[in-house]
Homo-oligomer: A and B are copies of this chain.
Amino acid sequence: MPSIISITTEDVRFPTSLELDGSDAVNVDPDYSAAYVVIRTDASDEGHGLVFSCGRGNDIITYAIDAYSRLLLGRDIDELIYDLGNASKRLIHDSQLRWLGPEKGVTQMAAGALVSALWDIRARRENKPLWLLLSEMPAEEIVDVVDFTHIRDALNPQQALDILRAGEEGKAARIASLMTDGYPAYTTSPGWLGYSDEKLVRLSKEAVADGFSMIKLKVGGDINDDRRRMAIAREAVGNLPIAIDANQRWEVSEAIDWIKQLAEYDPYWIEEPTSTDDILGHADIRRGVWPVRVATGEAVASRIVFKQLMQAGAIDVLQLDSTRVGGVNENIANLLLAARFDVPVCPHAGGVGLCELVQHFSFFDYAAITGTQEGRMIEYVDHLHEHFAEPVRILNGRYTAPRRPGTSAEMLSASRTTWEFPTGAGWLEVGDRAAVTGASLVPAGGVR
Give the B-binding residues of A (Cβ under 8 A).
26-31, 53-57, 59-61, 63-64, 67, 70-71, 86, 89-90, 93-109, 149-150, 152-153, 248, 251-253, 274-281, 284, 299, 301-302, 304-305, 307-308, 311-312, 435-436, 438, 441-443, 446-448
Contact = CB atoms under 8 A, between A and B. Distances in A.
B274 A448 contact: no
A57 B94 CA distance: 10
Contact of A442 (B53, B94, B443, B447): B94
A87 B12 CA distance: 29
A60 B57 contact: no
Contacts of A89: 446-448
Contacts of A28: 95
23 contacts: A30-B95, A53-B96, A53-B99, A54-B97, A54-B98, A54-B99, A56-B67, A57-B96, A60-B60, A90-B442, A96-B435, A105-B108, A106-B106, A149-B448, A150-B278, A150-B281, A152-B251, A153-B281, A275-B304, A277-B302, A278-B308, A279-B308, A281-B308
A277 B98 CA distance: 14
A270 to B, nearest CB: 16
B64 A60 contact: yes
A140 to B, nearest CB: 19
Contacts of A299: 99, 102
A1 B312 CA distance: 52
Contacts of A279: 279-280, 308
B153 A253 contact: yes
Nearest to A309: B280
Chief secondary structure at chain A's binding surface: loop
The residue in A152, A277, A435 that gathers the most chain B C-beta atoms within 10 A of its C-beta is A277
Contacts of A108: 105
A199 B336 CA distance: 46
Contact of A100 (B94, B105, B312, B436): B105
Nearest to A153: B252
B30 A96 contact: yes
B27 A95 contact: yes
B448 A57 contact: no
Given A71-B441, A86-B446, A308-B279, A100 B57 contact: yes
Which 7 A-B pairs have CB atoms at the shortest separation, nearest pair first?
A105-B105, A150-B275, A56-B96, A55-B96, A54-B99, A106-B106, A153-B252
Contacts of A150: 248, 251, 274-275, 277-278, 281
A102 B59 CA distance: 16
Given A150-B281, A279-B279, A447-B94, A107 B60 contact: yes
A105 B102 CA distance: 7
